[in-house]
Amino acid sequence: MSANMVFGLFCIVIALVVAGMAWRMLQADKENARLSALSGEWPTAPGQILSIRIEDRITDESSSYEPKIEYTYRVADQDYTGTRIAFKHVVFALKKTAQAVIAPYSVGPTIVAYEPAAPQNSVLDRTARAPRVSFWTVFLFLIAPFVAIAGVVMLSLPA
């Protein structure tokens, strides 16, 4: 098997993996948009914010910052723990953007909105609407065909 064939097959496998990831992300985006739209009608329950922090992910190539809030709430004599702040993407390139997301919150009492049919689904901020499709989902869907085309080209080259 020639190097062109190996690389071509590798590209096709990578394209399929990327397309699969994009498909899963699209499904998650659709679910977030659905829940975001419905959450305006959800009931609320008193809750307690247990912790607030920003998770730093710093590598040699990039940095990202994810605001994290852990809270508890009670629905129908059942205790739940939640971490969802909003239904939109909450990983940021700038630390100050992540800090702005958690700025309105403090450890202590809070109000939690929850899905009546599935009370384990909860959110703190119902005003931030999720996009129907995220940037990264679109990016992966656009990259997959180019990687597949590169694979096909490599397979068509003479050995």
Tell me what pLDDT residue 30 has: 85
Task: Using DSSP, state whether 118 is helix, strand or coil.
Answer: strand
Instruction: Return the pLDDT at 62.
Output: 82
Nearest Cα neighbor of 24 from 144, 151, 150 is 144
For residue 61, the model assigns a pLDDT of 80
Q: Answer for the pair 29, 129: CB distance below 8 angstroms, yes or no.
A: no
At residue 59, the pLDDT reads: 80
Res 65: pLDDT: 93
Walking along the chain (159 residues) 10 residues at a time, the average pLDDT comes out as 86 90 86 85 97 90 91 97 88 90 96 96 84 76 88 84
pLDDT at 130 (0 to 100): 63
Residue-wise burial string across 116-145, b where 16 or more C-beta atoms lie within 10 A, e elsewhere: eeebebbbbbbeeebeeebeebeebbeebe
Residue 74 phi, psi dihedral angles, 5° rounding: -125, 130
Domain ranges of the chain: 1-40+129-159, 41-125
What pLDDT was estimated at residue 138?
Answer: 84
CA 108 to chain centre: 26
Pick from 45, 46, 92: nearest CA to 68: 92
